[in-house]
């Protein structure tokens, strides 16, 4: 049974890769066209949808043939996709690792096959950093700190405890680990900030709503929600309204990403502050891919530039927001 399931998954992945594969010389370094195998995390959030579009559009613009697969938030699917790209002898593999741990074996296989690997968006915790060429993405610890700094400033005159609930991203993922750590570091300096509940909402709207409903049931006086992405925050807003409270007023809300729906809720006063995390990694990824395929040296860490938004700032930029 198990065997049959995994055979089906492999067949599915292969089918996906084949349909997603454009023309071009591809593989084995022949011709000048580059073939990239890209393993995406999933389609869990607005951020992810924008990121996928950025990667696909940029590949087209750069003349890179893209083999794309969606792992539906499962590490085993990503490992299978990477193995299939190795078998197909693509020129370069890029992927956004769903969790940080457990990549050494498959990365070693890519290295042995002499296929360069680029990490995009999320990091791995492999000790051997020669297993990949570079890591392109945000500084998630910094994002968590920015969220914490806003909160510290917002409550600078408060004497009473500030009760916070936290909706974490996918368990074991770099953004969940780092956004928690950065936030904690900043608010930890003052004992009045208390995280009274913290649980994963898996970066999805549905889970954000469900977990927030549970938080509201067991904690009658929540002051602040810190959600590791907009989607979970948006789900939580539904739960807060469902409980007869006013999001943005009765419960202040901080999120991360700044996708259009999040920015709309910020402009509407339902979210109080958003830390930006840019999904538009495609153009830089294609530039890096061309370089590593040529064997050129690249920086081992490329950090995305980002900002933050208040409610007034959201009103100003909303109409021109691309995603």
Termini Cα distance of the chain: 42
Of 162 and 236, the one with the shorter C-beta distance to ligand GYE is 236
Q: Computed from CA positions of residues 210, 215, 216, 218, in that sequence, does the dihedral angle turn out positive or negative?
A: positive
User: Is residue 45 near ligand GYE by the rule CB under 6 A?
Assistant: yes
* Residue 234, C-beta contacts closer than 8 angstroms, at least 6 positions apart: 205, 208, 261, 262, 265
Q: Least distance in Å: CB of 144 to ligand GYE?
A: 11
One of 39, 177, 229, 284 touching ligand GYE (CB under 6 A): 229
> In angstroms, what is the minimal distance from the CB of 125 to ligand GYE?
15
Interface region with ligand GYE, contact rule CB under 6 A, candidates 13-21, 45-53, 78-86, 244-252: 45-53
For the record, the structure tokens of 68 come out as 């794309």
Least spacing, CB of residue 47 vs ligand GYE, in Å: 3
Span 156-175, contacts to ligand GYE by CB under 6 A: 175
Whether the Cβ atoms of residue 153 and residue 185 lie closer than 8 Å to each other: no
CA-to-CA distance for 82 and 10, rounded, in angstroms?
A: 11
Q: If binding means CB under 6 A, how many residues of this protein chain bind ligand GYE?
A: 13
- Indicate the burial class of 251 (C-beta count within 10 angstroms; 0-12, 13-18, 19 or more): buried
Q: Which residue in the set 256, 274, 288, 292 belongs to the binding site for ligand GYE (CB under 6 A)?
A: 256
Does the protein bind ligand GYE through residue 48 (CB under 6 A)?
yes
CA distances from 260 to 80, 92, 212, 268 (A): 33, 32, 22, 12
Which of 70, 91, 121, 276 is the binder for ligand GYE (CB under 6 A)? 121
Candidate residues 47, 95, 135, 215; the one interacting with ligand GYE per rule CB under 6 A: 47
Among 203, 226, 273, 323, binds ligand GYE (CB under 6 A): 203
Residue 312: other Cβ atoms inside 10 A: 9
The reply on whether position 44 binds ligand GYE by CB under 6 A is yes
For 9, 11, 19, 67, 276, the CA distances from 5, given in Å and listed in that order, are 6, 10, 21, 23, 39
Helix (H, G, I), strand (E, B) or coil at 115: coil
Give yes or no for residue 270 binding ligand GYE (CB under 6 A): no
Handedness of CA 50, 54, 60, 65 (dihedral sign): negative
- The least CB distance from residue 291 to ligand GYE, in Å, is 23
Nearest to ligand GYE of 176, 293 (CB atom)? 176
Binding site for ligand GYE (CB under 6 A): 44-45, 47-48, 121-122, 175, 203, 229, 231, 256-257, 277
């Amino acid at each position: 049974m198990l065997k049959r399931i995994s055979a089906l998954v492999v067949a599915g992945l292969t089918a996906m890769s084949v349909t997603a594969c454009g023309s071009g010389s591809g593989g084995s370094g022949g011709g000048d066209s580059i073939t990239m195998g890209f393993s995406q995390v999933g389609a869990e959030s607005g951020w992810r949808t924008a990121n996928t579009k950025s990667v696909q559009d940029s590949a087209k613009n750069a003349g890179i043939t893209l083999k794309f697969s969606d792992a539906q938030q499962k590490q085993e699917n990503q490992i299978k996709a990477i193995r299939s790209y190795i078998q197909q002898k693509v020129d370069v593999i890029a992927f956004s690792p769903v969790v940080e741990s457990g990549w050494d074996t498959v990365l070693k296989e890519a290295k042995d096959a002499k296929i360069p690997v680029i990490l995009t968006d999320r990091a791995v915790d492999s000790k051997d950093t020669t297993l990949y060429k570079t890591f392109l993405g945000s500084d998630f610890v910094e994002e968590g700190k920015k969220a914490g700094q806003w909160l510290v400033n917002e409550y600078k005159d408060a004497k009473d405890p500030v009760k916070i609930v936290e909706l974490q991203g996918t368990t074991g993922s770099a953004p969940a680990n780092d956004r928690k750590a950065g936030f904690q570091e900043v608010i930890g300096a003052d004992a009045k900030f208390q995280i009274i509940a913290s649980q994963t909402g898996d970066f999805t709207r549905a889970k954000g709503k469900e977990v927030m409903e549970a938080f509201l049931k067991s904690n009658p006086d929540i002051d602040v929600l810190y959600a590791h992405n907009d989607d979970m925050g948006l789900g939580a807003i539904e739960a807060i309204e469902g409980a007869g409270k006013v999001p943005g007023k009765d419960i202040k809300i901080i999120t991360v990403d700044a996708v259009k729906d999040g920015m709309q809720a910020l402009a509407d006063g339902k979210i109080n502050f958003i830390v930006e995390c840019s999904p538009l990694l495609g153009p830089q990824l294609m530039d890096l891919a061309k370089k590593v395929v040529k064997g050129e040296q690249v920086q081992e860490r490329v950090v995305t530039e980002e900002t933050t938004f208040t409610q007034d700032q959201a009103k100003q930029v909303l109409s021109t927001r691309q995603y």
